[in-house]
Structure 1
Amino acid sequence: MNCIEEVNGTASRIAPREGSIADVIAGRAEWAITSGDAVDFLELLPPGCVDAVWCDPPYCSGGFLETAKRRARGMLQAATIKRLGWFVNDNMGTTGLVWFLRAVAMRAARALRPSGHFGCFTDHRMIDALKPALESSGLRYANLLIWDKLTPGLGKGFRAQHEVVLHFVNRSPEYHASDEGNIHGVRRVPPKKKNHQTPKPPELIARHLRVVAPPGGLVVDPFVGGGGIGVAALRVGARFIGCDVDLGICEDARGALRAEAAALAAPARRERST
């Protein structure tokens, strides 16, 4: 990732550049966000160009009971989609989600380098359904990463305090750090934007990406959401391409990455002004 420049003989970081998907793949820019369907987006990527596909898809595991989902027309709650929109608050049924994410994993496997990695956020209720479906893409199940949110959520009994990442690898995986465990305690960050309700903390994602993506490598997120995975990619010196079907979410994510790019360049600007 070419974000270093010489200022009076001192190396300083410059702002990661925004560009097109082609620019990022070719190394002419460091990040891009586009709008579209996740499956279609992944099919457009050249084979074997991505180091890590890391994503936070809809969980579809608790906002509505499964019996209520089965009564809905198709995969969606008709009243809910009118009020909240596509994919918000568990609109899909489990069967629909499994089919969809297997299609995503199939395209991700094609885009990954032989040394690449695939990570998918979910919660404990969806592990049994998703793990074999994702592994059927040809990727190999490698690990279960735990996000300890440090405080329990709502409810009774043993209240949920964690989410998980299902970690898969391609044919000959390469690891770029060996000092991380598979449990990461990071407090949940409340959403700042109305378009995305469950953003993931970039400091959490950065701990994942430093293991699965080399400096200057390419990270892809087909469910860009609040942009946390993209922000984390820039922090660890990787290139990033994100996609989302919602135009408003894409614009929010661009704002998050532009702010992060400016923050990364701030020390260089301060050096030049002194």
Structure 2
Amino acid sequence: MVARPKAADPEVLAHGREGSPDEVIAGSAGWHVSTADALDFAETLPDACAHAVWTDPPYCSGGYTETAKRQARGMLRHQTVKSLGWFINDNMGSAGIVWLLRCVAVQAFRILLEGGSLGVFCDWRMVPLLAPALESSGLRWQGMIIWDKGAPALGSGFRRQHEVVLHFVKGTGVFHDASTGDVLNGSRLHHEARNHQTAKPPEVIERCLGVVAPPGGLVVDFFTGGGSTGVAARRLGMRFLGSEIDRGIAARAREAIKSQSTDARRVRKAHQLGLFDGE
């Protein structure tokens, strides 16, 4: 029998009780982060259980050639690597990341409810490779969301100031907000605030989740990292399931998510239905 997400207890949403994946899916717990490989974890989840899969995978953006990708340290600054160390898989070649994320998209198609969304952070170099690989899973490419970081990176010429979120939907997308555009402004996290080498600001992810999932909905992130997606989901009164292969990073993610509680003001702001009612 296909598992269907149930309405979560208001007390669960308000206080964010940690529980097992089954409890989170059933609505009796608020969140769970497993220390596990992304694909191994995905296979444990039932069909049609999630409103959104929103994830920031390692996307091998550190070089133009395959050799450079394998030798690079992503887009990270030296002091970030020095203080937080390196993390697994971000120096894969293009073939490796395409294979991995195509497998993730196949699992996302399976676990998403009809109308659910997959969002995948990447940079401009990887769009031509990843977009068709993700689309081949059966999901429909809805478009791209641009994250304007507010200031250009180091370099010369037109210095890069943005990242991309590839947005896919299962069938006809179901949306819960019509007031958000496809360009999101949000500054980088300060170095001191990072608990992962490539952490995204939770505020940026909140803007995305408010469009693709309802309060009490279930959000899944197979590459949890420092927990930004989980933090954003908890702030919006959504349930969260995540996986992170690195034990130390997973522990930091749990601490970050545990410290959050639902903010009713954020929930109302995220779900102001401007032009239509997504339900």
Q: Which residue of 1 aligns with 2:146?
A: 146
Determine if contact 1:34/1:250 at 8 Å carries over to the other structure: yes
Letter in 2 for 1:157: G
Q: What does residue 166 of structure 1 align with?
A: 166
- C-alpha separation in 2, matches of 1:182 and 1:14: 29
CA contact (8 A) 1:191 1:198 kept: no
Separation in 1, partners of 2:189, 2:254: 18
CA contact (8 A) 1:15 1:264 kept: no
What is residue 16 of structure 2 aligned with on the other side? 16
Which amino acid counterpart does residue 10 of structure 2 have in structure 1? C
On the 8 A contact 1:191/1:199 being kept in 2, the answer is no
Q: Equivalents in 1 of 2:195, 2:94: separation in Å? A: 23
Matched, 1:185 2:192: no
Structure 2 CA distance for partners of 1:241 and 1:47, relative to 1, 3 Å: same
Distance 1:23 1:98, change over 3 A: same
Q: Is the 8 A contact 1:118 1:168 kept in 2?
A: yes
- CA drift of 1:191 comes to 4.4
**Does the CA contact (< 8 Å) of 1:120 and 1:167 recur in 2?**
yes
Inter-partner Cα distance in structure 2 for 1:70 and 1:247: 23
Seen in structure 2, the aligned counterparts of structure 1 residues 158 and 129 have a Cα distance that, compared at 3 Å, is same
Shifted more, 202-211 versus 55-64: the winner is 55-64
Task: Report the Cα distance in structure 1 between the residues aligned to 2:202 and 2:71, rounded to whole angstroms.
Answer: 37
CA contact 1:191–1:197 (8 Å) conserved in 2:
no
Q: Specify whether residues 191 and 230 from structure 1 end up closer, same or farther in structure 2 by C-alpha distance, changes over 3 A only.
A: farther
Q: Distance in 1 between matches of 2:162 and 2:194?
A: 23
Change (3 A) 1:32 1:59: same
Partner of 2:97: 97
Aligned-partner residue type, residue 243 of structure 1: S
For 1:143 and 1:260, the matched residues in 2 are separated by: 30
Answering whether residue 206 of structure 2 is matched by residue 206 of structure 1, we say yes
Q: Indicate the larger mover: 59-68 or 249-258.
A: 59-68
What does 1:72-83 correspond to in 2, within 5 Å?
none
> What letter corresponds to residue 150 of structure 1 in structure 2?
G
1:226 is matched with 226
Give the structure with higher Rg (CA).
1
- Give 2:75's aligned residue: none
Answer yes or no: is 1:156 the counterpart of 2:163: no
CA RMSD in angstroms comes to: 2.3
What's the counterpart of residue 270 of structure 1? none
Q: State the alpha-carbon separation in 2 of the partners of residues 238 and 22 from structure 1.
A: 15
Judged with a 3 Å threshold, the aligned counterparts in structure 2 of structure 1 residues 211 and 118 are, in CA distance, closer, same or farther, namely: same
Query: Quick one: distance in 2 between partners of 1:237 and 1:194?
Result: 23
* 1:184 maps to amino acid: L
Q: How many residue pairs are counted as aligned between the two chains?
A: 246
User: In 2, Cα distance between the equivalents of 1:71 and 1:159?
Assistant: 22
- AA paired with 1:222? F
Indicate if the aligned counterparts of 1:215 and 1:238 stay in contact, CA closer than 8 A. Answer: yes
Query: In the alignment, which residue of structure 2 is the partner of 1:41?
Result: 41
* Runs of at least 5 residues in structure 1 that lack an aligned partner in the other structure: 6-12, 73-79, 266-274
**Alpha carbons of 1:3 and 1:129: their partners in 2 closer, same or farther (altered >3 Å)?**
same
- Asked whether the 8 Å contact 2:147–2:183 carries over to 1, the reply is yes
Corresponding position of 1:8 = none
Aligned to 2:9: 2
Q: Distance in 2 between matches of 1:36 and 1:64?
A: 30
SS in 2 for 1:24: helix
- 1:258 Cα offset (Å): 1.0
Q: For 2:113 and 2:26, locate their aligned partners in 1 and report how far apart those are by CA, in whole Å.
A: 15
Query: What residue is the counterpart of 2:134 in the other structure?
Result: 134
**1:67–1:14: structure 2 CA closer, same or farther, 3 Å change rule?**
closer
1: CA distance between counterparts of 2:206 and 2:36? 25
Equivalent pair of 1:151/1:187 in contact (CA under 8 Å): yes
Q: For residue 123 of structure 2, what is the aligned residue in structure 1?
A: 123
Q: Which amino acid aligns with 1:84?
A: W
Q: Distance in 1 between matches of 2:182 and 2:70?
A: 35
Inter-partner Cα distance in structure 2 for 1:162 and 1:221? 21
Unmatched runs of 5 consecutive residues or more in structure 2: 1-7, 73-80, 265-279
Q: TM-score, normalised by structure 1?
A: 0.84
